[in-house]
A and B are shown apart, each in its own frame.
Chain A
Amino acid sequence: MVSLGSDNKSGMRLSESLEDYIEAIHKLIQEKKVARVKDIARLKGVRMASVSDAMRKLGERGLVKYEAREYIELTPEGTELARKVRVRHELLHWFFKDLLRVSAVNSEKDACTVEHALSDEGVDKLVKLYEYFHLHPERQKKLLEFLDAGSSSSNGPYVLPTVCTDKARLSDLKPGQSAKVLQIRSKGAVRQRLIDMGMLPDTQIFLERKAPTGDPIWIRMKGFQLSLRLAEADDVQVCLIDAFKDSPSESEA
């Protein structure tokens, strides 16, 4: 398996805040194609001077290409590190949320806190523990039953989730495919309507059919049926369910 510790070439671990910077740059590049000092400062809520300072440090380690007043680019090493940080973050999130059944709000908080506090070894061991339950769903069920005794916050059958390896837009789904909602990026009225209909993160969606021209689409969720246009479905990030099924064998390989 891939080691998820964030050691780079020099073998030294980055400080918490530098890791956060790498994550922020990666996020900006993915969303806006470019990362500028100004944007990073706004995203992290710090002064631009602090950002420049951090960029210089990262530059020295060969993780970013940075010259004053220019766009910031991640080096291949930087990109690799950013990916690892992200995967580790998501795994920890899943660990708390789905394995330990910590509420959505708290699991995110816990993942944030633990991610930087643990040693690489500690993270790797947690990941192993997660994989163990992943490979033995019946034992995970027992664990959950144990954890749930005395609390009533669980809902539905215990589906074993993993980190999503097959992200897509809702509009990419084909008739007969299922997916889970990851994020709603829509704005305004569409966003509120989708939330009110219960299209929240983790909701399972099945694509029933498409209209004669392929647009709008007809989905089934939470026991009812809904239609929406492709343009609206574009803004809903989902994870294909088939990807969930495939992922155990992938992580074994």
Chain B
Amino acid sequence: MTDTYRIALAGNPNSGKTTVFNELTGAKQLVANYPGVTVERKDGGYRYEGAKIVVTDLPGTYSLTAYSPEERIARRVILDEKPSVVVCIADASNLERNLYLLVQLMEMGANLVLALNMSDDAHKRGQRLDVRRMSELLGFPVIETIGRVGKGIEELREAIHYAHEHPVTDHSTGSEDMLDRFVDELMEKLPEKLPESAPPRRWLALKALEDDQEIVEWIQRRLIGAEDFLMAAREVSKSIEGLVGEPGEVAIGDKRYGYVSGLIQEVVIRRIDQNDRTTSDIVDRVLCHRLLGLPFFLASMYFVFWLTFTVGELPMGWLETLFGHLAEWIDGFWAGSEGFSPLRSLLVDGIIGGVGGVIVFLPNIVLLFLGIAFLEDSGYMARAAFLVDSFMHKIGLHGKSFIPMLTGFGCTIPGIMATRTLESERDRLTTILVLPLMSCGARLPIYMLLIPAFFSESWRAPVMWMIYMIGIVLAVVLAKLLRSSLLAGASTPFVMELPPYRLPTLKSVMLKMWQRAWMYLRKAGTVILAISIVLWALTTFPRKDVYDVDRLMAQGKSIPEAQAESMRNEEALLHSVAGRIGKAMEVVISPMGFDWRIGTAMIGAAAAKEVFVAQIGIVFSLGETDEESEDLHSALQRRYTPLVAFCIMLFMLIATPCVATFAVTRQESGKWKWAILQWGGLTVLGYFITAVVFQVGTLFGL
């Protein structure tokens, strides 16, 4: 007989909860969203002694109030899904605050297991705990774990199973005092019979005292005599305030921390010396120094881009060669056959040319994500938010907006999704609207194609840096404008933990990198493949049978064959659907220095930025013959100046956010209005700026 049960992992942010989750479940994870809200849900599973255990990784929270979506989700899962066991992951070197969450889980009547994670760190800093005594006092299993190296995970599985078979849900949280008597008094005012799905009585009373909005609403909706009960709760809260001089929530917080500190007193044999400065503190003295902090931050960003750009070139070359051989190999099947073959053209020019041209940039994407994952997991990201908050705050945003924006350098989509951590709707909308200006990974292929083609070795990194900086500056200006016009209002709190630096584990960085690279590949495999085929068709059909060049040559004009061939290509593309659209657009885009070829390529880029590269590849290799195939770089160099190349990058940076961005903005903001405003506004802005840059640049003879 197989037993199946659900468990949930709760814990503070930075308690190593995700690492424990990864260790418990392996890499097999299901990432989705909670229905109705936009917080990420992670599920996984494992087997223990024949039983099948389904694990839910709850969002990391410090508390279980109604103030943030994460906290509401966490407690809703515990109350509604009723997991058999709730594992509380606590950072062993920061017991006090981490156990505060445990007390709240005890109040909710959860069947608990406590995992003291990163116990090696705490041990190194001198802490000695009597874990057995702790477990005796709490009445449920307490396990020491080191998630990073997988130590204590087997014991944790065993403890979870034990708790599943011997549930304890009635917890006492400290000695009876005045507050308890007040809570008891209030509990008695609850109706005799509560609805089946109701939370524990005591918890309801506590939350009513805390004036928890979600619970108050629930009471109003579901309880008979709700108003009387809530009135009683307000009165009790007033009596507490009269006695302690502080409202109910402070007394409750005080009581919880009081219980925790009593517990710690009992089980701690030796404390961490708080005056001891750790390595992390010493590092911060330099990295977050008042004068050195910002330069270091800018330098670290520069380093990440250098890594992406310079180091990424090598594996990129290998992939290019690989796809070149693949194309040759497929071409071989048509050896000796004369004339145009639609299938050959589709495979070689459409699919390999399109999708291959995008996959080639995978090394760059992976390296960029590697850098970002490292910054995130090491704890530097929170420092970055601290260093830049005053700038973010000046433009009316939260330092936390910085993290979605930094994620936006990888991809706008997860960036927009990461804005869920922002509590204020206005902050969120502003961040979402300007996010496409954070140059995403999909624009990277465009830069990677154009920068080496048009700029000398020593100019490459600076030009790239400049493009990114332009995006950032524009985002700042735009956010400021939005916050003082359409989205005016007060700013949100900035109470943020600065976790100690930790060396990221290879496993978690790799997992993160893989998940993001996979997202990129999947996009290349599906959306981009489909678009590539459509674009190939657009640029191939209708076909031209008789070329003007051939007619001229037949009339006796002498044109070198190489030039004639390239003229034929141009004619063929002009004749195609895409060429006609591009040609029609030429009038509009010429002030930016763009010709119909660039216009044609941009038709695809409107759907997904990286398609620009695929399409410009098709534009320039159309109808190519083997002996005369040209390198894309030199084809571009022949036709355009560095100024035009720069303008292309600028326009691609600012204008026409991709289809996915449009869809996600619509989904996250809940209104078409914002998605349309974002797309239209950025496109107009991009057009205007690029045109000015081109005209001025031309004036100066660039």
Contacts and interface: CB of A to CB of B under 8 A. Distances in A.
Contact of B272 (A197, A208, A223, A228): A223
A87 interface: no
A128 interface: no
A190 B494 CA distance: 8
Interface in A182-206: 183-184, 188-198, 200-201
B100 interface: yes
Interface string A197-241: 110110000001111111110100011111111001000000000
Contact of B387 (A184, A188, A201, A211): A211
> Which of A201, A212, A226 gathers most chain B CB within 10 Å?
A212
Contact of B62 (A184, A197, A201, A223): A197
A232 B494 contact: yes
A104 interface: yes
Contacts of B498: 218, 225-227
Given A196-B62, A211-B389, A152 B243 contact: no
B82 to A, nearest CB: 24
B231 to A, nearest CB: 16
A189 B70 CA distance: 14
B100 A196 contact: yes
A168 B310 CA distance: 53
A223 to B, nearest CB: 6
B67 A189 contact: yes
Nearest to B297: A212
A154 B492 CA distance: 37
Contact residues of A: prevailing secondary structure: mixed
Given A209-B288, A226-B498, A184 B65 contact: no
A200 B96 contact: no
A155 interface: yes
B243 A194 contact: no
A105 interface: yes
Nearest to A189: B67
A193 B67 contact: yes
Contacts of A215: 389-390, 393
A30 interface: no
Contacts of A224: 94, 97, 497, 499
Contacts of A200: 250, 253-254, 257
Interface in B475-503: 492-500
B124 to A, nearest CB: 14
Contacts of A209: 284, 288, 290
A152 B393 contact: no
Question: What 7 A-B pairs are tightest by C-beta distance, nearest first?
Answer: A196-B63, A195-B253, A213-B390, A190-B493, A225-B498, A155-B261, A229-B494
Interface of B: 62-63, 65, 67-68, 93-94, 96-97, 100, 175, 177-179, 240, 243-246, 249-251, 253-254, 257-258, 261-262, 265-266, 272, 274, 284, 288, 290-291, 293-294, 382, 385-387, 389-391, 393, 399, 423, 492-500
Given A108-B245, A197-B62, A227-B386, 4 more contacts: A193-B63, A216-B389, A222-B96, A227-B385
24 contacts: A104-B244, A105-B177, A153-B175, A154-B265, A155-B258, A184-B250, A189-B68, A192-B65, A192-B249, A193-B63, A193-B493, A195-B250, A196-B62, A212-B293, A213-B390, A215-B389, A215-B390, A216-B386, A222-B97, A225-B500, A227-B382, A228-B494, A229-B493, A232-B494
